[in-house]
Amino acid sequence: LSAGNEIHISSVQDLTKMASDIQADAQGGAGKVYVLDNDISLENKSWSANIGVKDKPFCGTFDGQGHVIKDYSLAMSDELSYGLFGVVSGDAVIKNVGIENVSATASTWTNAIGGLAGELNGNATVEACYAKSVKIDATTTYGYAKRGGGLIGLVDGSGVNVKNCYSVDCGMDDSMVDEDGGVIGGVHSVNEILNCYADTLLTRCKDESLKD
């Protein structure tokens, strides 16, 4: 259901259509607001739609309104970034959504994995979101994730903001994930990380100057 630039999401089918619409939109959804109207369970099925990819990132606004998207797996098979959202960029905003009970497995080398978003760059913002029970592992000895986070796999943009987010009970296979963290796997460049919490390591920073 849509009204002007506001598009309402209430089912797995709506999420899948959102992913295909972003892929078909030259602006990546910029100027559009996607509103989650209720909790959604993917019933432990694999999520492969990846809302936003490297060449067509998500650039719109997603407002979870305090709802939860849960019970899904991410299966990575190439060198891309994976999550409910794959790559988030431009002036995108993702806010007010919880991610629960997610498993992610890498069978080959993978760039970044996050329960909510694989990668943030540009001026993207993630605010008031959380991850609970996100587990990242590898299916074979060849499986390897360069970055893995309960909420976000990689932050790599001088305009990126991550605010008021947390993670609980999120775990990684350290032998299979190079840069890992409860909220963010790896931070290469960022504008601000504010009021974030993890019951494990919050994040790993490649740039030593960012660690303060």
Q: Is the pLDDT of residue 84 over 50?
A: yes
- The total of other beta-carbon atoms located within 10 Å of residue 51's CB is 28
The DSSP H or E segment spanning 112 is strand 109-114
pTM for the full model?
0.91
The 8-class DSSP code of residue 116 comes to S
Mean pLDDT of all residues belonging to the chain: 87
The 8-class DSSP code of residue 206 comes to S
Coil, strand, or helix at residue 191? coil
Q: Is the pLDDT of residue 207 over 70?
A: no
Coil, strand, or helix at residue 139? coil
Q: How far apart are CA 39 and CA 158, in angstroms?
A: 32
User: Residue 130's Cα: distance from chain center in Å?
Assistant: 11
The 8-class DSSP code of residue 13 comes to H
Average pLDDT over residues 145-171: 91
Q: Which two tokens stand for residue 56?
A: 């067509």
| pLDDT higher at 127 or 111 | 127
Most confident of 4-8, 13-17, 185-189: 13-17
Closest Cα partner for 82 from 42, 61, 122, 109?
Answer: 109
- The total of other beta-carbon atoms located within 10 Å of residue 169's CB is 15
Average pLDDT over residues 154-169: 95
Q: How far apart are CA 148 and CA 154, in angstroms?
A: 7
Q: Is the pLDDT of residue 178 over 90?
A: no
Q: Which pLDDT tens digit goes with each residue over 17-31?
A: 999 999 999 999 999
Closest Cα partner for 154 from 75, 70, 85?
Answer: 85
* 12 CB-side CA count, 13 A: 12
Average pLDDT over residues 1-18: 85
pLDDT at residue number 211: 45
Contacts of 160 (CB under 8 A, 6+ apart): 120, 121, 122, 123, 124, 125, 189, 190, 191
